[in-house]
């Protein structure tokens, strides 16, 4: 039988952060897109405070938030 590929250790994944960060970032993008399509606002953290983005502001605001 073939060898099974060893799964990465959870501690190692958290230390590397990259796969987890990518998954969380993608989940945020999907959630914000769903809110925009439904016409709901979203709250984001900007300049040390919570800011509410209306539907028409979401695309620009999301791009700024996710680029950092």
Can you give the pLDDT at residue 54? 86
The alpha carbon of residue 60 and the mean position of all alpha carbons in its chain are separated, in whole angstroms, by 15
- Secondary structure (DSSP) of 5-65: PPPPPHHHHHHH-HHHHHHHHHHHHHHHHHHHHHT--EEEEETTEEEEE-GGGHHHHHHHH
Can you give the pLDDT at residue 49? 94
**For the chain, which residues make up each domain, given as ranges?**
10-67
Query: Mind listing the pLDDT tens digit of every residue in the chain (68 residues)?
Result: 567 777 777 777 777 778 878 888 888 888 888 888 888 998 888 899 999 988 778 876 676 666 55
């Amino acid at each position: 039988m073939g060898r099974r590929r060893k799964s990465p250790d959870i501690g190692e994944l958290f230390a590397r952060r990259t796969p987890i960060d990518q998954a969380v970032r993608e989940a945020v993008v999907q959630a914000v897109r769903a809110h925009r399509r439904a016409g709901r606002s979203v709250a984001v953290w900007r300049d040390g405070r919570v800011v509410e983005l209306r539907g028409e502001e979401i695309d620009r605001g999301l791009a700024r938030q996710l680029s950092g």
